[in-house]
Amino acid sequence: MKRSVEDIDLKGKRVLMRADFNVPLEYGKVADDFRIRASLPTIEYILDHGASLVLCSHLGRPGGEVVEALRLEPVAHVLSELLHQGVKNVDDCIGKHARDAALSLNPGEVLLLENTRFHTGEKENDPDFAKDLAEMGELFVNDAFAAAHRAHASTTGVARYLPAVAGLLMTKEIEVLSRVREDPKSPLVMVLGGAKVSDKIGMLEHFLNQADALLLGGGIANTVLKAKGIHVSASLVDEKSLETARQMLENAAGKLVCPKDVVIAKEKDAGADHRTISVGEDRIPDGWMILDIGPRTIAEFEKRLADANTVLWNGPLGVFELQPFSQGTMKIAEAVAGLDAETVTGGGETAAAMQQAGVISRIDHVSTGGGAFLKFMQAGELPGIAVLQEKEVQVE
């Protein structure tokens, strides 16, 4: 068990916290504050216990250069509103200006450093960059589960120079995902969608024997259908994973629940002409594509979910952002939210779908991780978690 922020004395300390503020921006403003809100319990805990707080995060992929559109100032504005107090921000994450701002903080005050990926040393996990970043605090709290699969300076490097513990969000992610990964209450039903099979191979291999049913939608279902020899026309298919899909069919055919009917259209557009067809019976016209599961499939998925004691969901079942193709994801989200079972979802698009369906508060655990979620469910460990202190280690 990893040492938590709750296990240490914070009073009078200056805490460097790695958060995950890699949020979508539109017109210079935060478009979705889900990840910011997820960090609030740890932020508030640190401030309530008499510490000052220096926050750091990456945003986007600036490639080690300053990109004006990827500055964290919009995040500082949202944080200020959510915390009901001013959040200071600086134009760099290291250097004299940033260090002076950090050292001048009083207990209860918050400073947000600039995008760590403006420096090449971040992704390279450069020791000098990590050391400069570590100078901003006396303790390191990692609450960025979604970035914990990256061995970067701000996720692993800093832990070489500061006592490192988990934040409340990180702790919850580890506890919930470890339980579901290692000892899920049976029956376990997995809902798998999204674009690529390859992203989910490791997780699938781990759960193949444990899962009682795997409900497939999205690109992963299209890939399996094509592997079965079904004509999917212009549908999204992970061509590189067709052989993997054939092996899945061979090893777990009785567990894989593929769509019986699908919604197809010629264009991925809200106003596109669309129709529902039976899979394997009706031929998908050339140039048309599968964009959602159909009503018979929804009913079958709901039936399979009804007896589940654990549900693990990753990836939407169709193009849920567009109303004609959202029904599958929305109805299954509602069904999952109504279950008397432990329900866990992972992935940015999956979280967005839960929000759109209005059920996010009724899901037991909505992981903030995408790639981190998949890799943790495969391996049970991540670089950003491995460097955190164990419970028995004492922090001076």
* Distance, CA of 54 to CA of 73 (rounded, Å): 14
Alpha-carbon dihedral sign for residues 357, 363, 368, 372: negative
Q: Quick one: tokens of 259?
A: 């769509």
Helix (H, G, I), strand (E, B), or coil: what is residue 221?
helix
The sheet that has 342-346: what strands, in order across it? 256-257, 213-216, 188-192, 310-314, 342-346, 365-366
Q: Which of 223, 251, 225 is nearest to 239 (CA)?
A: 223
| Residue ranges of E strands in the chain | 14-18, 25-26, 29-30, 52-56, 87-89, 110-112, 139-142, 164-166, 188-192, 213-216, 256-257, 261-265, 274-278, 289-293, 310-314, 342-346, 365-366
| Residue ranges of E strands in 187-319 | 188-192, 213-216, 256-257, 261-265, 274-278, 289-293, 310-314
Q: For 351, what's the count of Cα atoms within 13 Å in the CB-facing half-sphere?
A: 17
Q: Which amino acid is at 328?
A: G
CA dihedral 228, 253, 187, 194 (to 10 degrees): -30
H/E element, 98: helix 96-103
* Distance, CA of 60 to CA of 223 (rounded, Å): 29
* Distance, CA of 129 to CA of 272 (rounded, Å): 51
Q: Quick one: tokens of 349?
A: 């698009």
Contact 160, 137 (CB under 8 A): no
Active site residues: 35, 196, 348, 371
| Residue ranges of E strands in 196-334 | 213-216, 256-257, 261-265, 274-278, 289-293, 310-314
